[in-house]
Copies of this chain bind each other. A is one copy, B any other.
Amino acid sequence: MEDYLKKRQDLIQQDRALRPDQTYVDALSLEERKADNVLRNIRTYEAQAVWNGDKPAKHEPGPSHMFPGMAFLTARETIVNTELFKILGKMPKGGLLHAHLDATVRVDILLRFAIQQPAIHVRVSEPLAPNTLRSVLPQFRPLRKSEWTNIPSLTDPQYSSGSWVPIQNARNNFSIEMGGPEGFDRWVIDALMINPSEAYGTHNTTTKIWQKFSSTFMVSNPLIRFAPIWTQYIREFLLSSISDGISYVEPRIMFFMKNMFGEDGEENIPHRVWFQMYERVLNEVKEELKAQGREDDFLGSRIIYSTMRSISCEELEWHLSDCLALKQEFPHLVAGFDLVGHEDSLRPLIDYIEPLLKFVERQKELGVHIPFIFHAGETTGDGTAADVNLYDAILLGTKRIGHGFSLYKHPKLMEICREKDICIEMCPISNEILRLTGSMPMHPLPAVINHGVHVALCSDDPSVFGNMGLSFDFFQVFVASEVNNLGTLRMLVWDSIKFSSLEDQEKQRAYSALDRSWTKFIKYILDKYGGSFGDKRPVSQ
């Protein structure tokens, strides 16, 4: 019997030996071990007290009953009231390595920014009525001053489809029948987010939810791509990330459109000016934090140049040259290059192989380095073009992989990722809402970690999903596995710096800052919860 238990322990250890959190687990301090115990006890306690599988879930459609790691949009209200979420909210997160800039700011805040801009006008292509409110989307655009209108309302019977209405008029005079100004806000917000009844009811397949998902970007794009809003947007993105404990961000910025709208409504601001604006805001935020003595809280940002995986090879060549020119002008800001969009329906990497290989050559000639940081394998497909993107991403030398959802199926590719330190930017809540997985316990993250592949947890498009910051993704991951522990959290945080595009020296600074804030975090856990949840056995209050 003793012999059996020994063999069993050995086997479990061998099975987990590849996990990258093993070194972190082994190195946990005494205080960290106590905090780990607290976290596990709270997880066990809340699994019963909060997520009890016999308790009906609040929203329909969605899971009928509660469980840890259940569908996020249904669970969100419950999550924010858990002790575990409150704790994870205080955790220093390290870097955010996968987020699309144009989906990182709460949509109500974006709307507030838009309302403040008299240049912003809105129109609809079909009459708005209570029964079309869900299907007719707002189209926004900043207009040149000469084009500004005085049209009083979008919802007047006199309104003629396609005419531009100043956003304030549209909002103030939104028909009472459709909720007045608040109804306008709801209408816009619904067009910018995925709600539970879409994700789990009307659009609960990957194909369908991607249609809604894509439409949110169509609505928000002309707002965000307006220079006065863009700078506010970046600032809000940085500040809200920092307030969630994120100390470095590496957003993907979409450069598919060649120009931004200026304050005068002209669509003529080129990419290099976008970078100048980004840098200005970044430096302002850094200065403000410095002035507050909070330098540890934020180390900066770099940008992953992105365009759509729907373009032609010729268009891609333009973007690659554009990216190279930007790298030469802003070497400290350009972190990498990526192609984005729905992998299941858009073009695979292999279609672009010639320009991409040429790009690598061109970099060598110019003595610059712009790593690929490709989306790949964001699919449930097996052997489909989207799944096969993983082979091309790796052969092209990708620095990290965006999503890599289907990576767990590929033994050789996991081995290569493990050996070449290719980190996977996993976006669990995004994957679940976009219906690649039904819930966190079904997500392949544990398989990938168990195979020794490094992972950075990411939020992807938090404004659309409602998973602002990284606390929600950490929460969903932490509650969905009994193997996860404080060492796993620490690994995920430290790896998000290790696999970032920061220079070595900057990384050292980031680790030191993390060490300090982590110590405070551990102390916070023990001070606040050590008494009630510090016992070895789970507390059953």
A392 and B1 CA atoms in complex are apart in Å by: 13
Do A207 and B67 touch (CB < 8 A)?
Answer: yes
A203 and B65 CA atoms in complex are apart in Å by: 8
Using known A-B contacts A64-B204, A204-B63, determine if residue A409 contacts B450 with beta carbons closer than 8 Å: yes
Do B207 and A391 touch (CB < 8 A)?
Answer: no
Do B438 and A438 touch (CB < 8 A)?
Answer: yes
For chain A, residues 496 to 535, give those with C-beta under 8 angstroms from any C-beta of chain B. Answer: none
Which of B18, B53, B410 lies in contact with A411, CB distance below 8 A? B18
Using known A-B contacts A1-B353, A67-B205, A202-B64, determine if residue A483 contacts B382 with beta carbons closer than 8 Å: yes
Using known A-B contacts A410-B450, A442-B380, determine if residue A65 contacts B205 with beta carbons closer than 8 Å: yes
Q: How far is the CB of A446 from chain B (nearest CB, A)?
A: 4
A364 and B435 CA atoms in complex are apart in Å by: 51
Q: How far is the CB of A474 from chain B (nearest CB, A)?
A: 16
For chain A, residues 340 to 394, give those with C-beta under 8 angstroms from any C-beta of chain B. Answer: 350, 353-354, 357, 380-384, 387-388, 391-392, 394
Q: How far is the CB of A200 from chain B (nearest CB, A)?
A: 9
Using known A-B contacts A64-B208, A442-B437, determine if residue A410 contacts B15 with beta carbons closer than 8 Å: yes
Identical copies of this chain, number: 2
| Chain B residues within 8 Å of A53, by CB | 205-208
For chain A, residues 469 to 488, give those with C-beta under 8 angstroms from any C-beta of chain B. Answer: 480-484
| A400-424 Cβ-contact flags toward B at 8 Å (1 or 0) | 0000000011111100000000000
Which residue of chain B has its CB nearest to the CB of A485? B383
Do B65 and A354 touch (CB < 8 A)?
Answer: no
A439 and B438 CA atoms in complex are apart in Å by: 9
A538 interface contact, C-beta 8 A: no
For chain A, residues 297 to 355, give those with C-beta under 8 angstroms from any C-beta of chain B. Answer: 350, 353-354
Which residue of chain B has its CB nearest to the CB of A202? B64
Which of B17, B411, B435, B447 lies in contact with A15, CB distance below 8 A? B411
A160 and B417 CA atoms in complex are apart in Å by: 68
Q: How far is the CB of A15 from chain B (nearest CB, A)?
A: 4
Which of B202, B383, B391, B480 lies in contact with A483, CB distance below 8 A? B383
Q: How far is the CB of A55 from chain B (nearest CB, A)?
A: 10
Which of B61, B65, B411, B441 lies in contact with A208, CB distance below 8 A? B65
Do A482 and B383 touch (CB < 8 A)?
Answer: yes
A203 and B70 CA atoms in complex are apart in Å by: 14
Of A4-12, A100-108, A110-118, the one with at least 4 CB within 8 A of chain B: A4-12
Do A382 and B64 touch (CB < 8 A)?
Answer: no
| Chain B residues within 8 Å of A204, by CB | 63-64
Instruction: List, sorted by A's number, 23 A–B pairs whose CB atoms are closer than 8 Å.
Output: A8-B350, A11-B395, A12-B391, A15-B411, A17-B412, A53-B205, A53-B207, A63-B204, A65-B205, A67-B207, A70-B205, A380-B439, A380-B442, A381-B482, A382-B441, A382-B483, A383-B482, A409-B446, A411-B450, A435-B438, A438-B438, A442-B442, A444-B447
